[in-house]
Amino acid sequence: MNRQAIIELAGVSKRFGNTLAVDDVSFSVNRGEFCTLLGPSGCGKTTLLRTIAGFEFPDEGDVRIAGQSCLDLPAYRRNLAMVFQGYALFPHRTVLQNVMFGLRMRKLGTPAEIAAWAKDALAMVGLQGFEERHPQQLSGGQQQRVALARALVLKPEVLLLDEPLGALDLKLRKAMRYELKRLQRTTGITTIYVTHDQEEAMSMSDTVIVLNRGRVEQTGPPEEIYRAPRSAFVGDFIGESNLLEAVVAAVEPDGHLRIRLFDGAATAAAQPAEPECPPQPGDAVMVLVRAEAIGLARVPQVDGDWFAATVSERSFLGATTRLYLKVGAIERVVIADLAGAPPVWAENGAQVHFGWTADAALAYSAGSIDSASGRQ
Amino acid sequence: MKRRQTPRTGWAALAPPLAWLGVFFLLPMIAVFAYSLATREPGGGIEFGLSAENYSRIGDSTLYVWAILRSLRIAVIVTIATLLVAYPVAYYLALVATRWRVTLFVLLIIPWWCSILVKNFAWVAILADTGVLNRLLLQIGVIDQPLKLLYNEFAVVIGLVHVLIPFMVMPIYATLERLDRRLVEAAANLGSSPLRACLEVVLPLSLPGVAAGALLTFILGFGSFITPALLGSERTLMIANLIQGQFMEAFDWPFGAALSMVLLGLVLVLLACFNRLVGLDRLWGPAR
What are the domain boundaries of chain B? 61-283
Burial of A13 (0-12, 13-18, 19+ CB in 10 A): middle
Which residues are CB-neighbours of A280 under 8 A, at least 6 positions away? A248, A251
Alpha helices for chain B (secondary structure H)? 7-21, 27-36, 53-60, 62-91, 101-113, 116-127, 132-139, 153-178, 181-189, 194-197, 203-205, 207-222, 226-231, 239-248, 253-277
B5 interfacial to chain A (CB closer than 8 Å): no
Q: Give pLDDT tens digits for A165-216.
A: 887 888 888 888 888 898 899 889 999 999 999 999 999 999 999 999 999 9
Closest by alpha carbon to A65, among A83, A53, A47? A53
Given B185, B190, B194, which is nearest A101 (Cβ)? B190
Contacts of B200 in chain A (CB under 8 A): 101, 105
Which residues are CB-neighbours of B141 under 8 A, at least 6 positions away? none
Name the residue type at position A224: E
Which residues are CB-neighbours of B34 under 8 A, at least 6 positions away? B48
Instruction: Output the DSSP codes for A19-82.
Output: EEEEEEEEEEEETT-EEEEE-STTSSHHHHHHHHHTSS--SEEEEEETTEE-TTS-GGGS-EEE
Contact B188 A74 (CB under 8 A): yes
Distance of CA B151 to CAs A13, B69, B75, B123, B234, Å? Answer: 62, 19, 17, 11, 9
| Mean pLDDT in residue range A358-374 | 64
Distance from CA of A188 to the nearest CA of B (A): 20
Residues B254 and B83 sit within 8 Å (Cβ to Cβ): no
Given A85, A90, A150, which is nearest B183 (Cβ)? A90
User: Taking the alpha carbons of A150, A153, A159, A165 in that order, is the dihedral positive or negative?
Assistant: positive
The packing angle between helices B207-222 and B62-91, to 10°, is: 140
Residue B22 is inside which H or E element, if any?
none
Suggest the residue from B183, B185, B190 to mutate for an interface test with chain A (most A CBs closer than 10 A): B190
Residues B61 and B256 sit within 8 Å (Cβ to Cβ): no
User: Taking the alpha carbons of A361, A363, A366, A368 in that order, is the dihedral positive or negative?
Assistant: negative
Distance from CA of B2 to the nearest CA of A (A): 26
Banded pLDDT at A335 (limits 50, 70, 90): confident
Closest by alpha carbon to A187, among A158, A222, A147, A150? A158
Look up the ipTM and state it.
0.82
Contact B185 A102 (CB under 8 A): no
Residue B30's pLDDT is 94
Contact A76 B205 (CB under 8 A): no
Contacts of B198 in chain A (CB under 8 A): none
Residue B85's pLDDT is 96
Given B189, B196, B204, which is nearest A75 (Cβ)? B189
Task: Give the angle A89-B275-B214 at the CA atoms, nearest 5°.
Answer: 80
Chain A interface residues (partner B, CB cutoff 8 A): 53-55, 74-76, 80-82, 84-86, 88-92, 101-102, 105-106, 150, 154
* Cα-to-chain-centroid distance, residue B192: 36
Contact A102 B183 (CB under 8 A): no
Burial of A231 (0-12, 13-18, 19+ CB in 10 A): buried
Q: To the nearest 10°, the Cα dihedral for B154, B158, B164, B170? A: 120
CATH superfamily of domain region B61-283 = MetI-like (1.10.3720.10)
Half-sphere CA count of A271, side-chain side, radius 13 A:
13
Residue A143's pLDDT is 94
Q: Considering the entire predicted model, what is its pTM?
A: 0.80
Residue B186: closest C-alpha in chain A: A88
Half-sphere CA count of B57, side-chain side, radius 13 A:
17
Distance from CA of B197 to the nearest CA of A (A): 9
| Mean pLDDT in residue range A28-35 | 94
Residues recorded for chain B? 288
Chain B stretch 152-181, residues whose beta carbon is closer than 8 A to a beta carbon of chain A:
180
Closest by alpha carbon to B216, among B146, B282, B131? B282
Contact A90 B192 (CB under 8 A): no
Residue B286's pLDDT is 44
Q: Give pLDDT tens digits for B45-77.
A: 888 888 888 999 988 888 899 999 999 999 999
Residue A263's pLDDT is 66
| Mean pLDDT in residue range B66-90 | 95
Distance separating alpha carbons of residues A131 and A127, to the nearest angstrom: 8
Considering just the CA atoms, what is the radius of gyration of chain A in Å? 25
B193 interfacial to chain A (CB closer than 8 Å): yes
Residues A21 and A190 sit within 8 Å (Cβ to Cβ): no
Q: Give pLDDT tens digits for B197-213.
A: 999 999 999 998 999 99
Higher pLDDT, A340 or A58: A58
Which residues are CB-neighbours of B274 under 8 A, at least 6 positions away? B211, B215, B280
* Cα-to-chain-centroid distance, residue B200: 28
Residue A91: closest C-alpha in chain B: B205
